[in-house]
Chains A and B, each alone.
Chain A
């Protein structure tokens, strides 16, 4: 009886340990919320968004707040949430930059895509990588005001 109890306790301990070790969104090493992060230290959604977003040109109050990725065959699917927490309509442009295994551009530069965000609103932009050479990405934002 005592031995059985010990086994159950050990199994429960193991389960607890594995549960603690896999934080949701960080199950696969080198990925955070499905997005490739490599060796970059990413411990939260804020870290991921900071690592993957680049602001070029004029800065805007519009910011990426969430990002999730998934695999669609050998392509990367991305959902990025943009937030405008100001009291006015904001206009921004965005594009994705695709990076291959060697850190080089995996595809031609995308065109800037203009967007309008209503005041105090969110907008989800989504895309898929142009080819299977693209293993990483950056979301580039610029103000169009």
Chain B
């Protein structure tokens, strides 16, 4: 009798602890916490890419060459700002209006590959030549800041992403825009 009761309790406990995994909508509104999340990343990237595609230097359809520099994270939390610029780059690239030159982060891999192709392993006529890389005309950089306020059961977070497109040759600011997001969490 005791054994049956024990087995029943164990089965119940196992039942309670059962996990369920489901696929969700990657583009859905995510409000699990008020920390920087996927919806913020997607909204910022889309808003900035659409705005930038209307900048005169991009809209002129001259296929300008842009390099992506750092988006400085000035918030109080960890944000992979590379994910923001990667998404912006992907959207602009799909729009077919901008070409991207290899950036500082990818330079090592680029030069390593170039050097590798210069080795005796490759046929000279198909190997990429040295000195053929295209320099960027514009550089994209920016900042993301946050202001966090908390009183008792309410926490308010404000994010602002500012991006700028600078002309490398003359140092002129060709385009700049901001995207703001406010999230408030209340308990109870």
Interface check A127, CB cutoff 8 A: yes
**Would you call B46 and A75 a contact (CB within 8 A)?**
no
User: Considering only CB atoms and an 8 Å cut-off, how many residues of chain B contact the other chain?
Assistant: 20
Interface check B94, CB cutoff 8 A: yes
Which among B25, B46, B59, B95 is the interface contact of A72 at CB below 8 angstroms?
A: B59
**Would you call A107 and B94 a contact (CB within 8 A)?**
yes
B59 surroundings in chain A (CB, below 8 A): 72-73, 75
Interface check A69, CB cutoff 8 A: no
- Within the complex, the shortest CB–CB distance from A72 to chain B, in Å, comes to 5
The interface bits of chain B over 19-58 (1 if a CB of A lies within 8 angstroms of the residue's CB, else 0) are: 0000001011101000000010011001001110110000
State which of A12-20, A24-32, A41-49, A111-119 sits at the interface with chain B. Answer: A111-119
A130 surroundings in chain B (CB, below 8 A): 49-50, 53, 91, 94-95
**Would you call A110 and B29 a contact (CB within 8 A)?**
no
User: A72-B54, A128-B51, A130-B53 provided; 4 other pairs, C-beta below 8 A?
Assistant: A110-B46, A111-B46, A113-B39, A113-B46
19 contacts between A and B (CB under 8 A): A73-B54, A73-B59, A74-B61, A75-B54, A111-B28, A111-B46, A112-B29, A113-B39, A114-B31, A128-B51, A128-B54, A130-B49, A130-B50, A130-B91, A131-B94, A131-B95, A131-B96, A132-B96, A144-B29
